[in-house]
Amino acid sequence: MAGTLIRVEQLAKEYRMGSNVVPALQGVSLEIQAGEFVAVMGPSGSGKSTFMNLLGCLDHPSGGSYWLDGEEVSQLSGDELAQVRNRKLGFVFQHFNLLARTSALDNVGLPLLYSHMPLHERRQQAERRLQQVGLAERMDHHPAQLSGGQQQRVAIARALVNNPQLVLADEPTGALDSRTSIEIMALLQQLNREGITIVVVTHEHDVASFAGRIINFRDGRVIQDHANQAADAAAMLA
Partner 1 sequence: MNFAATLRIALLALRVNKMRSALTMLGIIIGVAAVIVMIAVGGGAQARVEDQIRSLGSNIIMVLSGSMTSGGARGGAGSQPTISEDDAYAIGREIEEIQAAAPTLRGNGQVVFGNTNWSTVFYGITPDYLEVREWAVIEGRGFEPAEMNGAGKVALIGQTVARNLFGDASPIDQVIRVRKVPLTVIGVLDRKGQSMTGQDQDDILLMPISTARKRVLGAAMAKSRSVSSIMVKVRQGQDMSAADQRMRELLRQRHRLQPGQDDDFFVRNLSEILQAQEASSKVMALLLAAVASVSLLVGGIGIMNIMLVSVTERTREIGLRMAVGARGRDILTQFLVEAVTLSLIGGAIGILLGVGGAMAVAELAGWRTELSGASIVLAAGFAGAVGIFFGYYPARKASRLLPIEALRYE
**From the CB of 142, what's the least distance to partner 1, in Å?**
11
CB of 204 to partner 1, least distance (A): 20
CA distances from 10 to 62, 133, 150, 219, 221 (A): 10, 37, 39, 15, 10
**Beta carbon nearer to partner 1, 30 or 82:** 82
Q: What whole-number distance in Å separates Cα of residue 45 and Cα of residue 129?
A: 35
Give the residue with the Cβ less far from partner 1, 7 or 13. 13
Task: Tell me the residue type at 12.
Answer: A
Euclidean distance between CA atoms 40 and 204, whole angstroms: 10
Residue 3 or 18 with smaller CB distance to partner 1: 18
Shortest Å, Cβ 29 to partner 1: 22
Q: Cβ closer to partner 1: 48 or 158?
A: 158
CB of 118 to partner 1, least distance (A): 8
Cβ-contact 157, 147 below 8 angstroms: no
Interacting residues with partner 1 (CB under 8 A)? 53, 56, 58-59, 78-79, 82-83, 85-87, 91, 93, 97, 99-102, 110-111, 113-116, 119, 158, 162
Smallest gap from Cβ 52 to partner 1, in A, equals: 10
For 65, list phi and psi in degrees, rounded to 5: -130, 155
Rounded Cα–Cα distance for residues 64 and 162 (Å): 28
CB 109, min distance to partner 1, A: 10
Distances (CA, A) of 11 to 51, 74, 141: 9, 9, 42
Q: CA angle, corner 73, sides to 72 and 76, nearest 5?
A: 120
E-strand spans in the chain? 4-17, 20-33, 37-41, 63-68, 71-72, 89-92, 166-170, 197-202, 213-218, 221-227
Q: Which is nearer to partner 1, 3 or 118 (CB)?
A: 118
- In terms of CB distance, is 143 or 233 closer to partner 1? 143
